Amino acid sequence: MKPWAIITIVISVILIGLLLYSFKLRDIEMPKYRVIKKLGEVEIREYPSLILAQTSLKKPDYDEEGSNGFRTVAGYIFGGNQSQQKIAMTSPVIMTMGDSASMSFVMPSEYKMQDLPTPSSNQVKLIQENAKILAVIRFGGYSSSEKIQKYADQLYLELKNNKLETRGKLMYMGYNAPWDVTNRRNEVAIELVKAE
C-alpha cells in the first residue's frame, strides 16, 4: 500500500473518531431552563440555582483569554482537586465579560456544594449562583470576540426596544467542543431585573 493511502486512512479514522466523540458530547448535561417568552431572536429564560467552578481572567476578551480560562477550570473537573475526583463535563461553558471577567463550568445537578471536592488550584473557586432570569440570543459557527460583540449589540438593542432593564455582566455561553464542526451553538446573555 502506498504511503499516501495509509495517511489518508489514518486521517479518515481520526476524523470519524472525532465525529463520533462529538455526537457523544452532545448528550452531556445542560441546565434545565424554562423559556418564558421570545422577543424576535431573543429568548427570555428562567434558570435554576447553579453551582459553578470558576476562575478569574485577566481581561474580558474571548480571543485572548478563552483558552486559558477553559484549561484552568477543566483541570478541576479532570481530577485537579483534593480527592483527584473526575467530574462529568457539562454544557455550556460560561465566560462573563466586564471589569472582572471569569470562566465557569456548571457543575452536574447531582452535586450539592458540600459534595464537591475542594479545587487543588487556588485559581478555581466553587460558587453558588442564585436562580435568575436571562435574556439570551443564539448564534452558530465558531466564536470570536468580534462575533460576541455583534450579538451582544443585537441583544441590548432588543432589550432597549422592549424597555427591559438589565443587571450584572454580559455572558458568553459556548456549548461545543473545539473539534465540533457542524451544529455549533453559542449564546450571549445578560440577567434581567424582571421578565416583564
- Under 8 Å between Cβ of 51 and 110: no
Distances (CA, A) of 164 to 25, 55, 142: 35, 30, 29
Rounded to the nearest integer, the mean pLDDT of the chain is 88
CATH architecture of 30-192: Alpha-Beta Barrel (3.20)
> pLDDT for 44-87, tens place per residue?
999 999 999 999 998 888 888 888 899 999 999 999 999 999 99
Q: Which of 21-35, 54-68, 160-174 has the highest mean pLDDT?
A: 160-174
Nearest-CA neighbor of 46 among 57, 59, 37? 37
Grid cell locating 58: 485577566
Residue 115 near residue 103, CB atoms below 8 Å: no
| Predicted structure pTM score | 0.83
How far apart, in whole angstroms, are the C-alpha atoms of residue 186 and residue 155?
13
pLDDT digits (tens, 9 = 90+) for 60-71: 888 888 888 999
CA-based nearest residue to 50, from 80, 83, 91: 91
Strand 166-174 and strand 132-139: the pairing is unpaired
Q: What are phi and psi of 154, to 5 degrees?
A: -65, -40
Report how far residue 111's alpha carbon sits from residue 27's, in angstroms, rounded to the nearest whole number: 18
Query: In this predicted structure, what is the pLDDT of residue 1?
Result: 64
